[in-house]
Amino acid sequence: MIIDSIQMAIGDTPMLRFTHHQFEEIPKGSAIYAKLEYLNPGGSIKDRLGAYLIKEGIEQRKITENTVIIEPTAGNTGIGVAIAAQAAKLSTMFVVPEKFSLEKQELMRALGAEIVHTPTEEGIKGAIAEAKRLHAERSNSYLPLQFDNPANPEAYYHTLGPELIKDLGSSITSFVAGIGSGGTFSGVARYLLKHVPLIRLIGVEPEGSILNGGASHSHEIEGIGVEFIPTFLEGLPVHDFATISDAEGFAMTRRLAKEHGTLVGSSSGAAMAAALREVATLPAGSQVVTVFPDAGDRYLSKQIYSRTDY
């Protein structure tokens, strides 16, 4: 396969099928399909979002020549946006809470982005406030704001959703995916519902996220979990939320690496744990689809594969 730009390698990721042969928890005849989003060129599902945000911004003339793209991000969105911005010859500035993944910050810088730090204690909220301030200060800048922008779920509605239907048709029983901004889950779910009206929709959150009504507290699983219910979920017929502890999520992340050669981050481990719970409740012959959002090597400084305390 010859391609003329790295952007052309975004999407059309493989789906890895797991059956009883790989995971004895999966009933015979049933399967879990994991969409391997960590194989995108920037190492995460956010390459799709970055490409879509820049394309949409240009089409709607929110982005013109010399526009600086500003975005608050924990990292993967920055990497995805930086790759897309390069193709359009645009510069990028990302506002990142200081102690968030160092690997992701290195990757954003490597792609040519400028990084602005905010205090770690202020979390992503502090980064959002600073990004808004920088945007107001600069006349030719664009702030996509993934948490509010309907282009976020649309990116997945138009790309990931159709890829799942293309590969599996209407035989999907359940869609199980993590919720951070809620863009992936709601965009894909809305597309799948059009083709598989009876599909079961299961959102995945870490313990410390509030979707099941639990108390809000910090957690080690990265990329998913919310402090408020994302507006993207409004009106969506969600059947259930699976709440996964750090211990369960990291154990599954390590098992995926050690036994299945799948070097993914902890939100993928949590998604797999939830998919296994779901498939166990379903009759033989069921097909559960889940998503592995990013690669594990961007968490090596946090000993993702070697620590034993969770």
Ligand X SMILES: *Cc1c(COP(=O)(O)O)cnc(C)c1O
Interface stretch with ligand X, choices 130-138, 174-182, 206-214, 250-258 (CB under 6 A):
174-182
Site string for ligand X, 186-215 (x = CB under 6 A): ------------------------------
- The β-bridge relationship of strands 31-36 and 15-18 is antiparallel
Nearer to ligand X by Cβ, of 50 and 57: the residue is: 50
Q: Nearer to ligand X by C-beta: 97 or 265?
A: 265
18 or 157: whose CB is closer to ligand X?
157
Report the largest interatomic distance among the alpha carbons of the chain, rounded to a whole angstrom: 60
62 is catalytic: no
Q: How far is CA 184 from CA 74, 115, 203, in A?
A: 16, 25, 10
- Whether 94 contacts 104, CB under 8 Å: no
Residues 199 and 182: their CA atoms lie apart, in Å, by: 18
Inter-residue contact 269 to 249 (CB < 8 Å): yes
CB-side exposure of 30: number of CA atoms within 13 Å? 22
Q: How far is Cα 253 from Cα 239, in angstroms, rounded to an integer?
A: 25
**Sole binder of ligand X in the list 72, 144, 208, 223 (CB under 6 A):** 223
CA 121 to chain centre: 23
> Which of 72, 265, 269, 296: binder of ligand X (CB under 6 A)?
265
By the rule CB under 6 A, 293 interacts with ligand X: yes
- Report the residue number, 126 or 249, with the smaller CB distance to ligand X: 249
Q: What is the phi/psi pair of residue 68, to 5°? A: -95, 130
When asked if residue 144 is in the footprint of ligand X (CB under 6 A), the reply is no
Residue placing its CB nearer to ligand X in the complex, 50 or 223: 223
Q: Closest approach of Cβ 197 to ligand X, in Å?
A: 23
Given 28, 35, 46, 132, the catalytic residue: 46
Instruction: State which amino acid sits at residue 235.
Output: G
- CA–CA separation, 231 vs 2, rounded Å? 40
Say which DSSP state 67 is in.
P
State in angstroms the smallest separation of the CB of 188 from ligand X.
9
**Which region among 15-23, 44-52, 137-145, 168-176 touches ligand X (by CB under 6 A)?**
44-52
Q: Which stretch binds ligand X (CB under 6 A): 14-22, 103-111, 172-180, 188-196?
A: 172-180
Can residue 180 be called a binding residue for ligand X (CB under 6 A)? yes
Residue of 182, 208, 225, 296 that binds ligand X (CB under 6 A): 182
- Residue 18 or residue 232: which is nearer to ligand X going by CB? 232
- Applying CB under 6 A, does 73 fall inside the site for ligand X? no
Instruction: State the Rg of the chain over Cα.
Output: 19
Range in contact with ligand X (rule: CB under 6 A) among 40-48, 88-96, 105-113, 159-167: 40-48
CB 83 within 8 A of CB 111: yes
The candidate with the shortest Cα–Cα distance to 41, out of 86, 85, 1, 10, is 10
Q: Which of 40, 44, 105, 159 binds ligand X (CB under 6 A)?
A: 44
Task: Determine phi and psi for 142, rounding to 5 degrees.
Answer: -130, 130
How far is 131 from 134, CA to CA, in rounded Å? 5
Point out which span in 22-30, 120-128, 176-184, 279-287 binds ligand X (CB under 6 A).
176-184
Strands of the 15-18 sheet, one edge to the other: 15-18, 31-36, 287-292, 174-178, 200-206, 240-244
Which of 7, 101, 267, 286 is in the footprint of ligand X by CB under 6 A?
267
Residues binding ligand X (CB under 6 A)? 44-46, 76, 178-185, 223-224, 265, 267, 293-294
Positions marked catalytic: 46
